[in-house]
Structure 1
Amino acid sequence: MEPLIRSASLRGFAPLITALGGDPGSFLDRFGIPRGALDRDDGLVSITAHDLMLDAAAAELECPDLGLRLAEHQDLDILGPIAVAVAASSNGAEALRHAAEFMFVHSPVLAVEISPDPWHQRGVVALTYRKDVLQSPYSPQAIELGLGVFFHVGESLLAGAPGFHSVEIPHSPMAPVSRYTEFFGTDVKFNRPTAALRVDRRVLETSFATADDSVRSAAVDYLSARYSNPNHSAAHRTRLAIAEHLHAGAPALSTVASLLAQHPRTLQRQLAGEDTSYAVILDEVRRDTAYRYLTTTDLPLGQVASLVGFREQSALSHAVRRWYGISPRELRGGVTGAGTSIGPG
């Protein structure tokens, strides 16, 4: 089934595109998104069409910061029933637990979580925002939209708390770097493994002014009763664990099994029951991560090789030829291999 996203993610799209001199209706029609999707927040649209439309609009209207501009039109309310549970939580840590648990209601290919600081700074954690590129291609504008909304929500709920240490973006700058630092008000680092906001751990214990235990409990009960998470499969959890640690070298099956609190043989049996294997998933994650770095950044090939878990650049070259039938440089330049469909998945 094609992955979807709530149409609330397009809130503000029409006035923004119109202000830029474009026709929002023509973009919607081209990407097969019903025009009525802009009239309600609780509709569902293809997240791939949604993301490709944002990238196309940014390029054609010469608006490289389109994702950030769209984020300025949105707030926590775009998450619908999830927003109620988040706002009524006692603090940031609890709010993020609920957001992580129920983000699939907004879109099953998006995820947020609290992760260790990628820079290993004491007392700092990363609030990560991810898209599963095995299910839908990576989109720079959509990632910037999601990260921008994530940032605004954090600022709103943690009003008065210490600021962010830095913002991590997985691709090269789409707009002047000054635009990013102006938007986020802090240092912004590019070509990073994962989109993230780095904050002091203690900030997550700051009490919310909107905390209400009875409202939070009712919202969580409603979400639990009405929605079933499609992302509880062993393959999905394995993909996320591999993607999380790939930049430090391809993790072994035993390492991922430990992260998932399972015995390696148990994980192998679960993956086999889902008609896949650890080796297949590792190869898929490497393929789609390499595709993202090669097509959205200008990182040296040796660095790309390292970020996808290869020790040598030659290993990356062999793998890209196996996946796409062309060299990494040709893939970066947009060359299509004979009989090969270029793109993740």
Structure 2
Amino acid sequence: MVNLTRGSALLAFEDLVSSLGGDAEALMRAHGVDPEAAGDYERFISYTAAASVIGAAARELDCPDFGMRLARSQDIKILGPVAVIIRHSETVADAIEGVSRYLHNCAPADTAGLRRGPRAAVYTFTITLRQLPHRDQVVERGLGIAVGAFRLMAGDDFVPLKVTMQHRRISPAETYRDMFGCPLEFGSDLNSVHLPNHVLTRPIRGRDAAALTLAENYLALVRRDHSFADHVHELIQRLLAVNRASLPVVAREMAMHPRAVQRRLAQSDTSFEEILDDVRRTMAWRLAATGVQASQIATMLGYSEQSSYSRACQRWYGESPSQLAARRRNTRANV
């Protein structure tokens, strides 16, 4: 399973930590998260790292309900285009179906589902990563966001029948009552929100059918295999900056075997080597205009010898590094 999530998973993290007297940037850097990526839906970060940061904040700031507090600050904004599905579906059931279908765009390891019973429906939330630090904090954040979404769709007066969590209770009981407003069960088989069946048919007020169509068309284009290739591209960009953009390292970051990474990329008609080459080509184009020496560019692109960069530059652009640098500087000067 891909060990990545959108940077928006840490939306509002800095403000919350600061309000509790902590240093958000130091926490993120200590766990390998680029502070610039925090809150950015267009960036990917390690899911494990994001969970570690949330858990570390809860521990160091003596705030056991940190995950739930973060959920209040984030709400559905962290879901990007998936939030449009929630706001503009025809009914609550349609919205849940859309979230279940497209949640992988936010975090491939997160899954949601809906089970209908004779008297009640059960919304389930699962994190499929086997080894995840501070899973309890991340689950409480996820269920908190889910209940907030139900209130947005069904009305502020919505109260679940009950909420269940697989982990043991980590905060005072009154904290959960304040967050969810309903009975809770811990040590359950599922992480879930139980709701009356009649809520599923409730129409969503203020919906915009055109906005829904646009969001669905966009999300439908982001196939799982293409999304996977995007994840790899993002990781290579980040790891290249510290000269660690190798297949084994990228695979380890994604909690996968290198051969499994290559098989998934093959489904997108690409490979690790092709993505690495594309990232290097783009970086070379940008760096050539900055006046950085060719030897330094070669090092920044992860080449052990300058001659390797020279050959690549000839293949990419049909000219030597010095010729590319001159052309790029002239282009910028004439802009």
The reply to whether TM is greater than 0.5 is yes
Q: 1:37 to 1:162 in 2, by over 3 A?
A: closer
Please say if 1:70 is aligned against 2:50: no
TM-score of the pair, normalised by structure 2: 0.64
Q: 1:160 to 1:33 in 2, by over 3 A?
A: closer
Q: 1:216 to 1:133 in 2, by over 3 A?
A: same
For residue 95 of structure 2, what is the aligned residue in structure 1? 95
Q: 1:109 to 1:230 in 2, by over 3 A?
A: farther
Aligned match of 1:155 in 134, 151, 157?
Answer: 151
Please say if 1:128 is aligned against 2:124: yes
Cα separation, 1, equivalents of 2:41 and 2:52: 20
Per-residue Cα deviation, 1:92-127 (whole angstroms, up to 9, x for no partner): 11111110111000000001110245xxxx410111
1:134: how far off? 2.7
For residue 217 of structure 1, what is the aligned residue in structure 2? 213
For residue 252 of structure 1, what is the aligned residue in structure 2? none
Aligned match of 2:198 in 192, 195, 202?
Answer: 202
Cα separation, 1, equivalents of 2:34 and 2:150: 31
Cα separation, 2, equivalents of 1:180 and 1:135: 25
1:224: how far off? 0.8
Cα separation, 2, equivalents of 1:3 and 1:12: 21
Q: 1:229 to 1:94 in 2, by over 3 A?
A: farther
1:161: how far off? 6.6
The aligned runs of 1:98-177 (5 Å cut-off) are 98-116=98-116, 122-134=118-130, 136=132, 139-159=135-155, 163-177=159-173
For residue 175 of structure 2, what is the aligned residue in structure 1? 179
1:230: how far off? 8.1
Per-residue Cα deviation, 1:255-295 (whole angstroms, up to 9, x for no partner): xxxxxxxxxxxxxxxxxx99xxxxxxxxxxxxxxxxxxxxx
Cα separation, 2, equivalents of 1:17 and 1:27: 9
1:2: how far off? 4.6
TM-score of the pair, normalised by structure 1: 0.62
Question: Which residue identity is paired with 2:115?
Answer: S
Q: Tell me, which stretches of 5 or more residues in structure 1 are unaligned? A: 233-272, 275-345
CA contact (8 A) 1:131 1:138 kept: no
1:207: how far off? 0.2
1:52: how far off? 1.6
The aligned runs of 1:47-66 (5 Å cut-off) are 47-66=47-66
Per-residue Cα deviation, 1:42-83 (whole angstroms, up to 9, x for no partner): 211101110122112211211100001111101222111111
For residue 37 of structure 1, what is the aligned residue in structure 2? 37
Question: Which residue identity is paired with 2:49?
Answer: A
CA contact (8 A) 2:68 2:141 kept: yes
1:135: how far off? 6.5
Please say if 1:26 is aligned against 2:22: no
**Sequence identity percentage:** 26
Question: Which residue identity is paired with 2:11?
Answer: R
Q: 1:124 to 1:188 in 2, by over 3 A?
A: same
Cα separation, 1, equivalents of 2:107 and 2:122: 21
Between stretches 152-161 and 192-201, larger displacement belongs to 152-161
Cα separation, 2, equivalents of 1:124 and 1:146: 21
For residue 17 of structure 1, what is the aligned residue in structure 2? 17
How many residues align? The count is: 230
Instruction: Tell which structure's C-alpha radius of gyration is larger.
Output: 2
Q: 1:162 to 1:74 in 2, by over 3 A?
A: closer
Q: 1:33 to 1:94 in 2, by over 3 A?
A: same
Runs of 4+ residues deviating >6 angstroms: none
Cα separation, 2, equivalents of 1:162 and 1:79: 21
CA contact (8 A) 1:90 1:212 kept: no
For residue 327 of structure 1, what is the aligned residue in structure 2? none
The aligned runs of 1:333-344 (5 Å cut-off) are none
Q: 1:124 to 1:230 in 2, by over 3 A?
A: farther
CA contact (8 A) 2:52 2:134 kept: no
Cα separation, 1, equivalents of 2:197 and 2:133: 32
